[in-house]
Amino acid sequence: MYEFIDFTLSIQKRVLIHIPQLKFPDHGIVLLKGENGTGKTTFLNCLAFLNRNYKGRMLFCGNDRIKGRQKEEILATKISYIRQKNNAISFLNAQENRNLLSILKGEKVEKKGGKMTSLSQGQQMILILEREFSTDKKVFLMDECFSSLDVHNKEKLKTEILRKKEVCLFIIVSHEGDLEKEADYIYVLQGKQWRTYR
């Protein structure tokens, strides 16, 4: 799905990550770990085509020239980027955020549910996860999605990821031990390079 060739990610001329060559699988669980401030979230931004501050090649489905409408189409249909900080749209209520895809298609949805600001960060994350997992997208980029969830909802999220991992690719940044046993690949960022742990 993703392939990197002589890939170097920098911020203000400081190299964060250098990947001579690496290929992620088409499906399964890839866990990315490392110290705070080492570039994991910035790397996810590259995977979502939100950051082009890199040199070298990053291929998605064999293509490294993705931009404009093609980028928008891929983000709308193939990639879900679920961030640690709020993915909810503040002017929509909870039910509207859950039904955002239907709203965008022009379908009528029932208007109920409180304002997003009245929900805890964990409750908002659950709504976003429900919304994103209801799509046909095949790539899920997840940045610290477990951190705001209680134990019960962490287990529900794990179960859903394990259910979908045979047909979807999950690239997950996590500081906690979530999914370490279940991950197909674990990469730890050390000295500007992803070191394979498993």
- Which pLDDT belongs to residue 142? 95
- pLDDT above 70 coverage of the chain, percent: 82
Domain boundaries along the sequence of the chain: 2-89+137-196
Pick from 155, 135, 160: nearest CA to 77? 135
**β-bridge partners, 189:** 194
Q: Rounded to an integer, what distance in angstroms lies between the CA atom of residue 129 and that of residue 126?
A: 5
- Which pLDDT belongs to residue 172? 95
For the chain, the average pLDDT equals: 84
pLDDT per residue over 111-165, tens digit each? Answer: 555 554 566 778 778 888 888 888 899 999 999 888 888 899 899 999 999 999 9
- Which pLDDT belongs to residue 192? 84
Q: Which residues contact 153 (CB under 8 A, 6 or more apart)?
A: 122, 126
pLDDT at 106 over 80: no
Q: Rounded to an integer, what distance in angstroms lies between the CA atom of residue 81 and that of residue 93?
A: 21
- Which pLDDT belongs to residue 8? 95
Question: What SS3 class is residue 76?
Answer: helix
- pLDDT above 90 coverage of the chain, percent: 44
pLDDT per residue over 55-98, tens digit each? Answer: 999 999 999 888 888 988 998 899 999 987 655 555 556 566 55
Task: Please determine, looking at this structure, whether the domain spanning 2-89+137-196 carries the CATH number 3.40.50.300.
Answer: yes
